[in-house]
Each structure stands twice: as C-alpha cells, then as structure tokens.
Structure 1
Amino acid sequence: MKAYGKWIGGIISCLAAVAVTACGADVAQPDVGSETQAIAGQAAPVYPDRQIEYVVPYSAGGGVDLVARAAADYLSKEWGQPVVVVNKPGGGGTVGAQYALKQAKNDGYTALAVNVSNTSMLSAGMKQPLITNEDQVYAARIGKGTLAFAVKADAPWKDFAEFSQWVKQHPEQLTWTSVGPAGFSAFGVAEWMDAIGADFTKTRMIVTKGASDSLPKVAGGHAILAVHTVGEINPMLQAKKVRILAVSGSERSPFLPDVPTAEEQGVKGLTVFWWTGVSFPKGTPDYVINKWEEAVAKMVNDPAFVKKLHGIQVEPDYADSAQFTQDVAKETGYYVELAEKRNMRK
C-alpha cells in the first residue's frame, strides 16, 4: 500500500506541475533574448585593438597614396590604434590588391586603398582579371578626382570644341599617353572618342609610367594629349608647361573654376572620374565594415581632413558600403560595354 500511495502521489505531483506551467505560473524560464545578446556581444569584439595595415597598391606620392595617408593619420587618432600605410606597387595595382585581398587574413587588420583603376577598369580591360569585385567587400568611398584633358601650353587649338573637331577629322594624328590599354587615361580617351564620333582605332597610344612621365612628354611635344586628374596635372599647369582644355562631368572643378567642362563646349556624356576608398577581403566581419563606414562618414566632414584633400585637388565623396558596392557594379558594366565596343578588352 505504501508503494501504491507513493506511485499515486508521484502522478498527482506531475499533473500539478503541468497544470501550473500551463496556467502561466511564475516558473523560471531561460532568457532567450539575453542569450542572443550575449552571443551577439561575443561576435563583435573591440575593434581595432591593434595596428591596422593599410595597403596602397601604388608607389608613394600618387593620389591614392596621399589620400590613404591623410585617412590613416585621421583614423589613428580617432581609434587610438596605429593605421600604417604600406606601399606595394606593381601590376597596375594588382600586386598590392592580391596581397590585401587574397593573402592577408580577413580579420579587418589589412585594408586595401582601392580605386577605379584596379577595380571596374581592370575588370573591363581584362577578360580574366586577377582581381574582381567579387574578391572584396567595399567598405566606404572617400574621395574623387575630376578628369581633365591637357595639351602643350602653346598648342594651336583655342578650346576643347575646336580640338575635338580636329581629332574627328584627323584621328591618325592624335597621340595620347596612358599606362596601358586599360588604364584610366585609356577609358577617358575612349569615352571622348565615342562622344564625338571619332575613330579610336586610328589614334596612337604612347605607353608611360603615369602622370609624372606622360605630362613632360606632352609639354615636350612628344605626345599631343594627356588625360589625368586635375590634381595630377596641376604642377605642370602651374609651371605653365601644359594647358587644360576641358574637364569632364556636369560641373566645373572647384579647383579650376575658370576651365569649362566638355559639356559646356558641346561634347556631352563624359562621365569617367577617378575615385578612391577602402575595401577588405570577402568574409571580413560586418562589425569591421560598419566601423569603417562610420569613421569615414565622420572623417569626410572633418575640416582638417577636407583641407588635406583639397591640398591635392581631391574632393570628399563619401559612400557607405551598400552604395559604394552598387556604384562600382554599375560602373563596371558601363566600362565593360565601352571596352568591348572599342576592342580594348584583352
């Protein structure tokens, strides 16, 4: 009987427990929300907590390098951790990009100073590029530079409209400089040729090592045209060795307010522009990307930083990760179409 009683009592206790729970009694339950928050908290550690390597895939002194150094200086102070610029030039920007995107860890401590030449233009100029948009996460765009068309200071053309008409009639006489068939200058020239209806294939490209090499060639009469950013041309412009006939875009450059746009002179549709920003390898944690987005957004509104950009004729041009990614994808599609149309893809 005692065993029977204990058995009955056990059943009654179990039924009571079920009833109490069902009726909503104050029974301690696991705090799922707290656990989720704890896991989320663990997934977002303090960043950065040590030195960041900011890879510039070009030589020191160029536009990408100077913007990166200004950004590194600002971010080092903002975060209280050193952001160190490391130059890894070669391969038109692909050597440094491969290092930062394919060899380094995707932990947020190796960033790439990315720009138009080794992204959308590289993808458009090569059928099998070494670096693609899919290899990286675009964190934030920092600044942009206006494309300008420069000729020798005493060149015979009074303006860009007259020069364009001459080129349309005599394309075989036009020589222009570029680091290669898929360089920034090449896309600028190809777009211009397309806009005026000139035969791009009859013009002649003179390969150079960049603005520091090409502009002296134009000034010395060894090439007719150099297409670079306003900042790259400015030293030779100030020395009165070259003359800028026009800038691209819908508005005049704030650094050259007296130089009319190509559109003002009847040449419409020139959209090529230079930009630079920061990207990371695929798989980089979201908290890293978010941190850079927030910091760059604040940085481009900092008067001291903007002053540094203006000193090298670069305009602040912020875009967050989503917008930056969308812009590069759209730009890549446009450049691929242009390259295929002008038989520039290799």
Structure 2
Amino acid sequence: MKTLNKKTFRLLPLTLALLFLASGCGANSTAESGAGGAAQTGGATAAASAAAAGPASSAGTDYPNRPIEYVVPFSAGGGVDLVARTVAEGLSKEWGQPIEIVNKPGAGGATGAQYALKQAANDGYTVLADNVASTTMLQAGSASAPVLLSDHEFAARVVTDAPVFVVAADAPWKDFREFSEWAKANPEKLTWTSVGPAGFSTFAVAEWLKAIGADFSKTRMIATKGASESLPLVAGGNAVLAVHTVNETSTLVKAGKLKVLAVLSPERSPYYPDVPTTAEQGVKDLSVSWWTGMSFPKGTPQEIVKKWADGVAKLAQDPDFVAKLKQLQVDPNVLTGQEFTDFVNKEAEYYTGLATETGIRK
C-alpha cells in the first residue's frame, strides 16, 4: 500500500501536466475552430456579395464576350435589314465578337419587336433593329399595340431616309401632281402596299391623301412583308403605288421597272436629283420620314446601351462606314441618348394624331 502511494505521488506531477496540456489544447482548438468558422462565414458572405455585384459591375467592361443576336423585324433586303448588316459588320470588327442578323418579319414589325423586347433576356445580347414602323407608328396605329415605346431602351438612331412615291415604269401618270388628281377622283381604284395597317407606307399614304382631300377609307392596302416583296408587286402591275425609301427603290428604278413620281423631303434627294419633291408639285406640309436605329429590352444595363450608342457615333465618323452607307444611298444621321428618346416621343405624338384623324388607329 505504501509502495502504491509512493508511485502515485511520483506520477502526480506528470498527470497534472498532461491534464493541463490537454485542457490548453482543447481551449485553443475550440478558439481556433470558432475563429476558423467565423472566417469561413465571412469569406462566404464576401464571396456571395462579390458574385452578386460581379455581373452588374462588369456588364460594360466585359461586354460583349459572346455572339450578339441583332433582330430585324422585316424581311431581308429592305432598308432596315441593309443598314443593320452594315452596322453589325462595323461593330463586330470593333468589338471582336460576331453580331448575327436574324430576320423576323410580320405584323408590321411587331413580331420581331415582341421577340427582341419581350421574349429575349435583357442582357444586351439581343438587339432590335428599330424603325419608325416598329416604334412610333406601331404605337400610334393601335390603341392596343403589342409593343409600346415604354418597352424600349433606345440606344441610337443611325440613318434617316426620304420616302418616295413609285409606280410601275409604264404607268400613265407623268408626275405626282397628275397622279394626285387621279387618286382624288378615283380613290376606290388606288391600291398601295404596306407591311400592315400601321406600317410606314400606310402613314405616308394617309398623310398624302389627307393633304389632297382624297378619301383614304376607299383605297385598298395590299399587305406585304417589306420592300423586297412590295416593290415587285408594283413593278408587275399588281398594285398601283408603293411608298418606300430612296435606298429601297433604287435597284428597280435603275433597272427601269419603277417610275419615281416624287420625293417626300424638304429638298430634292442627291440620289434622285431630277425628281421634284412633293411640295414642288403642289402637295405641301407632308412630313412622314423614315429612320432606323436600335433599342434593347427594358432593364438592359445602361453601360451596354451606351456602348452601342457610342459605337454607332464612332462608326458615323469612319469614312469606310459612311462609304458603305452611301452605296445603299443613305447617309448617317445619328441621334443617341436622351435626344433620340425625345425625338421618338415627339414623333409618336404627331403620328397618333394623324392615325386618329384618318382612321388608321383602331
């Protein structure tokens, strides 16, 4: 028993030391575990915050990092399509990413506009090749338009162009004055082409007929998907009149298939210098004009919208880009930012009044 007690006393210091070390290690382990957990929690929170902030902060700097879909709401070969392809080529070279043209014609531009503005994501990778027909005229022409100005983030207007009144090359009228007199006397015989009841040509025809005192309601529209379908109908005698742009009509005019009766602009077109304006031929106060540009779905990051606006403004200073537009017989007439938005709003107000007065608006 005494031997056992001596051994116990000899082992006691060692036992106490081991207990102390174990206690200390346990405390340190607990503290380190708690600190490590806090560090992991803080790191996870920071990572989550960074992930949440990442796309917004990098939207402008990283864009574009993959192909972009550029939606044209009209058929290939028309003015909107050709200008969009020219812009796409220029910005694709500038940004190093493909910009792919996708034609989605139908419903006077509404089909493509709905797809680009209401069905696609607002991440900047779907762009609408906007046009007067798919914006201001679309909203003005219907009390229940499927796409409104409020659905757009307007980026830039690229070009404007003058409407021209064309008939078949062998049509009997020698000029616009004579044609206007015939239309006033025979509105029921006047057929004209348009992409829809609220299309660009519809507004041009309605404004003209109002100015000469003809009955718009007695005339007849022939619906088409755009100039590439419309103009051959007129050239072939299947419609009396088409109103399209200088750019869109030039090929068939040069080929001797169409006759230009008048240009709707304050001055004669440099591309049709021998064709008098509507005002020169006695029909004054016509103001319908054509333009094309681009817009995005609401909520698209402003850095991306601005990148397109700045890109277009830069292209307009590039001699090669301007030369390519001149080959299409159009010239750059750029508006960006708030100026473009103000222009669109003012235009919509005028067209709504015209549509209401002439019966276009339903």
- Tell me the TM-score normalized by structure 2: 0.80
State the match for 1:65 in structure 2.
Answer: 81
Kindly state the Cα deviation for residue 315 of structure 1 after the two structures are TM-superposed: 2.2
> What residue is the counterpart of 2:184 in the other structure?
168
Instruction: Map Cα deviations across residues 264-321 of structure 1 (whole Å, 9 max, x no partner).
Output: 1121111112211110111112211221111111111211111221222222110012
* AA partner of residue 237 (structure 1): V
CA change 1:237–1:201 in 2 (3 A) is same
Matched, 1:47 2:53: no
Structure 2 residue corresponding to 1:217, chosen from 224, 233, 248: 233
- Residues 102/221 of structure 1: CA separation in 2 closer, same or farther (3 Å cut): closer
Alignment of 1:239 onto 2:255: yes
Task: Please give the alpha-carbon distance, in whole angstroms, between the structure 2 residues aligned to 1:214 and 1:65.
Answer: 15
Question: 2:314 — aligned with what?
Answer: 298
* Deviation of the 1:41 alpha carbon: 6.4
CA–CA distance in structure 2, aligned partners of residues 41 and 336 of structure 1: 40
Is the counterpart of residue 342 in structure 1 residue 353 in structure 2?
no
Q: What SS is found at the alignment partner of 2:162?
A: strand
Mapped contact 2:78–2:227 kept (Cα < 8 A)? no
- The structure carrying a bigger helix percent of its residues is 2
Separation (CA, whole Å) in 2 of partners of 1:42 and 1:62: 36
Summarize the Cα distance change of 1:75–1:164 in structure 2 as closer, same or farther, 3 Å threshold.
same
Q: Which moves more between the two structures, 44-53 or 70-79?
A: 44-53
**How far apart are residue 58 of structure 1 and its match?**
2.5
- Residue 62 of structure 1 and its aligned partner are, at CA, apart by 2.1
Alpha carbons of structure 1 residues 167 and 43: separation in structure 2 relative to 1, 3 Å: closer
- Paired-residue identity, %: 61
Q: Give the Å deviation of 1:325.
A: 0.9
Q: Distance in 1 between matches of 2:74 and 2:59?
A: 34
Q: Which residue of 2 aligns with 1:89?
A: 105
Determine if contact 2:107/2:196 at 8 Å carries over to the other structure.
no
Deviates more, 1:285-294 or 1:166-175: 166-175
> What is the alpha-carbon distance in structure 1 between the residues aligned to residue 191 and residue 59 of structure 2?
56
Higher mean C-alpha deviation, range 170-179 or range 243-252: 170-179
Query: Quick one: which of 115, 121, 146 aligns to 1:99?
Result: 115
Deviation of 1:65 after TM superposition, in Å, equals: 1.6
The residue type paired with residue 86 of structure 1 is V
CA RMSD of aligned residues (A): 2.1
Residues 254, 267 of structure 1: alpha-carbon distance in 2 compared, 3 angstrom cutoff:
same
Partner of 1:312: 328
Q: Which runs of 4+ in 1 moved over 6 A?
A: 38-43
Q: What residue identity is the alignment partner of 2:118?
A: K
In the TM superposition, residue 128 of structure 1 has moved relative to its aligned partner by 0.8
Is this contact kept in 1: 2:76–2:228, CA < 8 A?
no
Distance 1:216 1:89, change over 3 A: closer
Work out the CA distance in 2 between the residues paired with 1:283 and 1:85. Answer: 22
Deviation at 1:43, TM superposition (A): 7.4
Structure 2: any 5+ residue segments left out of the alignment?
Answer: 1-52
Instruction: Flag the 1:46–1:187 CA change in 2: closer, same or farther, 3 A.
Output: same
Amino acid at match of 2:309: E
> Greater CA deviation, 52-61 or 261-270?
52-61
Residue 286 of structure 1 corresponds to 302
Q: Which of 118, 126, 139 does residue 134 from structure 2 map onto?
A: 118
- For residue 142 of structure 1, report the CA deviation from its aligned partner: 0.7
Aligned-partner Cα distance in 2 for 1:52–1:98: 17
Larger gyration radius, structure 1 or structure 2? 2
Q: 1:301 to 1:344 in 2, by over 3 A?
A: same
CA distance in 2, matches of 1:112, 1:285: 15
The letter for the 1-side match of 2:338 is A
Equivalent-residue separation in structure 2 for 1:206 and 1:99 (angstroms): 25
Task: Give the Cα–Cα distance (whole angstroms) in 1 for the partners of residues 247 and 194 of structure 2.
Answer: 16
- Structure 1 length as normaliser, TM-score? 0.83
